[in-house]
Homo-oligomer: A and B are copies of this chain.
Amino acid sequence: MNRHAGSERNLTLVMDLYELTMAYNYFKQGNKDQLVYFDMFYRKNPDNGGFAVFAGLQQLIECIENLHFSEGDIQYLRSLQKFDEDFLDYLLDFKFTGSIYAIKEGTPVFPNEPLITVKAKFIEAQIIETMLLVTVNHQSLIATKAHRVVQEAKGRPVMEFGARRAQGYDSATYGARAAYIGGVAGTATVSAGEMFDIPVVGTMAHSFVQSFDNEYEAFKAYALTYPDDCVLLVDTYDTLKSGVPNAIEIAKEVLEPMGKKLKGIRLDSGDISYLSKRARAMLDVAGLTYVSISASNSLDEYLIRSLLNQGAQLDSFGVGENLIVSKSSPVFGGVYKLVAIEKDGQIIPKIKISENTEKITNPGYKRVYRLFENETGKAMADLITFHDEVIDSTKDLTIYHQSDVWKFKTIEADTYTVEELQVPIFENGKFVYEKLSVKEIRDYSMKEKARLWDEIFRLEFPHNYYVDLSKKLLDYKIKMLEEKRK
């Protein structure tokens, strides 16, 4: 895998077949070039949390730039006997010529607001659907989970260790990328380090310790190879009777004479709270107060919180399967819905109705704003409006619940600041955004999360952040619903 392998793969056919059967219909019916607007949004935060971290935009950009049907792809599609040669010819020259607007990667986001808006020819908007969703759903899920885990570590570094339990190679590599955006300090997955310049970490497994005649010899060998970066796994035989005493001897007999310091020990089994306290005491008595203790046994945000509440003496954490697949909540339910059609230069809003109120879409070509309270600098609400609405913060602003018409709130003039969330990524097929490093995205994400009230980040019963509508949008939505009922 080379440095930018991700940008060279043709992932075009990672697509539901119905995108192509629909595309073929548009092609045959002559409406393939009709301009349409699709919104990508999600309805529910993972783990019943209070927010999500939007991630995956960079890979979506690469997918769009790389989008093409190879000769081999065409040959395969021909073999399905569902498409005629005109259509296959069309696909061979296919590229995305539309516009994509998206919230910046790393931004904390909320249910039912458009994270991505696609304005494109119908056939193009349809063909990118699956790829867009799988990219954003996967990375937003893992970035959000990472935030939760990191938050509960209260400033102690968390390392991502999950590759072996990932759902395939991309889940390992892009999952590590997303976890880093969400806040982990590094990953064990080398491919993620190579592709995204993420710090990589790793020392030894039990098999290494077992490969020597005894634990002391194993530790000694490792210390001699990595005197500056020596973290010893102390639970292969008996943590307190063998592992920690051997680690102490290595620190004193091997490293100190070299002028080096043992960096840390790692606990990977047993009662981590108890073992960490005993190990800390043993290290301290030996004068090794500088040796850190890390833990890595099936941890998640709740276990880390519990360990710290018990006074466990832990300085860092390695988190595996519970993070890399977001085990407790392994699906980010992003959807992609038609919200408008352009006819004779007019944008005609479309709505998807449902018996389930939460599943009714917000119609039209729209904008998303975040409203900040000037006094605290904290975000108060997100506001969805039609695309042609302008907010004047020198005037009072009334914002409305998405479905309960009696719920609204007025924000006083000159007490708030407005920021638009979506930025142009592609305009008429041309990439107009910037490519950021994962580190930059991570830093931006931290900064934006700090602009939200802490109550949003609570694991249990988080504050329900407002995502409201403008009066104009709400009225239009209600009118459409009433018309549909007739």
Q: Which residues of A contact B (CB under 8 A)?
A: 1-3, 5, 9-22, 24-26, 28-29, 31, 34, 36, 38, 70, 72-73, 76-77, 80, 82, 122, 126, 129-130, 133-134, 137-138, 141-142, 161, 163-175, 188-191, 193-194, 200-208, 210-211, 221-222, 225-226, 229, 236-237, 269-270, 321, 325-327, 330-334, 336-338, 341, 350, 352-356, 359, 484
Contact = CB atoms under 8 A, between A and B. Distances in A.
Nearest to A34: B211
Contact of A331 (B3, B21, B165): B165
Give the oligomeric copy count. Answer: 2
B164 A167 contact: no
B15 A167 contact: no
A72 B229 CA distance: 25
A70 B203 contact: no
A153 B310 CA distance: 47
A206 B352 contact: yes
A15 to B, nearest CB: 5
A331 B325 contact: yes
A24, A134, A222, A321: residue with the most chain B Cβ atoms closer than 10 Å: A134
Given A137-B166, A141-B167, A211-B338, 14 more contacts: A1-B12, A2-B70, A3-B72, A5-B10, A14-B169, A14-B191, A19-B202, A26-B211, A73-B194, A76-B193, A130-B164, A133-B164, A165-B332, A237-B353
Given A168-B138, A168-B167, A203-B18, A190 B13 contact: yes
A173 B9 CA distance: 14
A331 B162 CA distance: 11
A173 B16 CA distance: 11
A114 to B, nearest CB: 15
A163 B15 contact: yes
A434 to B, nearest CB: 24
A173 B134 CA distance: 11
A43 B389 CA distance: 58
A202 B21 contact: yes
B205 A22 contact: yes
A356 B297 CA distance: 13
A346 to B, nearest CB: 15
A149 to B, nearest CB: 16
A16 B202 contact: yes
Contact of A13 (B17, B191, B204): B191
Contacts of A269: 354-356, 359
Contacts of A341: 211
Nearest to A137: B165
Contact of A202 (B17, B201, B353): B17
A280 B202 CA distance: 59
A189 B21 contact: no
Contacts of A355: 269-270
Nearest to A38: B207
A356 B126 CA distance: 52
A17 B333 contact: no
Contacts of A36: 211
Contacts of A165: 133-134, 137, 331-333
5 contacts: A14-B163, A17-B201, A19-B202, A73-B194, A269-B355
A142, A326, A338: residue with the most chain B Cβ atoms closer than 10 Å: A338
Contacts of A72: 1-3, 194
A378 to B, nearest CB: 33
B211 A169 contact: no
A13 B5 CA distance: 12
B15 A190 contact: yes
Given A17-B201, A188-B16, A167 B194 contact: no
| Pairs A-B, 4 closest by C-beta atoms | A17-B202, A168-B170, A18-B202, A133-B164
A11, A16, A356, A359: residue with the most chain B Cβ atoms closer than 10 Å: A16
B82 A188 contact: no
Contacts of A354: 269
